[in-house]
């Protein structure tokens, strides 16, 4: 049976694996990059490291995670930490890509190197942001909604007024999920769809 619990230090490898297996617009991204570990190092693991109080998993009876939600309560603060403390440790392993490199990996690495306070367009109104990913074994049973509600409740309790997130415009399942949750569609860049929610209103 699956159950919801807080992230534990031993969950890091599982978070990275779930991130990888859902990173291709909701599908498995294994082998799409030269190094599969880039996905988790950018989009999942740093959140659990920086803010474990806003990180939750859906786990089975053996405590193996099948899905997660990770959040940063203050996007600008998180991005400063990501830039100054988290990402520099990977500079030798994943250097800045060449200017003429148009690969998907290069695009993700450029995004990682460009992260900084003030870069997120919706952070002023919706200061928190999150990432949520579930394996097929945890989909279709309400666990995504429960994860979202839990992190919303924790952020509200911490006095955070709003949250934003982004999804691939090709991930139709995720877009429909956020619509069902009542999140507001926000102006977005090419290929993506941003959402926001006012946490002061229940």
Mean pLDDT, the chain, integer: 97
The percent of residues above 70 in pLDDT, for the chain, comes to 100
pLDDT tens figures, 34-51: 999 999 999 999 999 999
pLDDT band at 201 (very low <50, low <70, confident <90, very high): confident
Q: Specify the pLDDT at position 136.
A: 95
Read off the pTM.
0.95
For 127, the 3-state DSSP assignment is coil
Tell which residue, 11, 132, 27, has the closest CA to residue 60.
Answer: 11
pLDDT tens figures, 160-191: 999 999 999 999 999 999 999 999 999 999 99
Residue pair 120/75 in contact (Cβ under 8 Å)? The answer is yes
What kind and span of H or E run contains 50? helix 45-50
If one counts every other C-beta atom within 10 angstroms of the C-beta of residue 45, the result is 20
Q: Which CATH superfamily is domain 3-161 in?
A: Gcn5-related N-acetyltransferase (GNAT) (3.40.630.30)
Q: Quick one: tokens of 137?
A: 């074994």
pLDDT tens figures, 4-14: 999 999 999 99
Residue spans per domain, the chain: 3-161
Q: Which is it for strands 128-134 and 162-168: parallel, antiparallel or unpaired?
A: parallel
């Amino acid at each position: 049976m699956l159950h919801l619990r807080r992230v534990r230090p031993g969950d890091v490898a599982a978070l990275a694996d779930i991130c990888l297996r859902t990173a291709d617009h909701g599908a498995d991204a294994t082998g799409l990059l030269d190094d599969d570990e880039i996905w988790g190092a950018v989009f999942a693991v740093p959140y659990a490291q920086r803010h474990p109080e806003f990180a939750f998993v859906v786990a089975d009876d053996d405590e193996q995670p099948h899905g997660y939600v990770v959040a940063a309560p203050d996007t600008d603060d998180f991005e400063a930490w990501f830039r100054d403390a988290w990402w520099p440790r990977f500079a030798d392993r994943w250097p800045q890509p060449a200017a003429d490199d148009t690969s998907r990996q290069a695009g993700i690495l450029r995004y990682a190197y460009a992260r900084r306070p003030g870069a997120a367009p919706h952070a002023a109104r919706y200061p928190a942001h999150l990432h949520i990913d579930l394996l097929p074994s945890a989909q279709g049973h309400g666990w995504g909604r429960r994860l979202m509600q839990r992190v919303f409740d924790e952020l509200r309790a911490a006095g955070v007024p709003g949250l934003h997130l982004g999804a691939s415009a090709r991930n139709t399942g995720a877009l429909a999920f956020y619509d069902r949750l009542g999140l507001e569609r926000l102006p977005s860049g090419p290929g993506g769809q941003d959402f926001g929610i006012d946490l002061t209103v229940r």
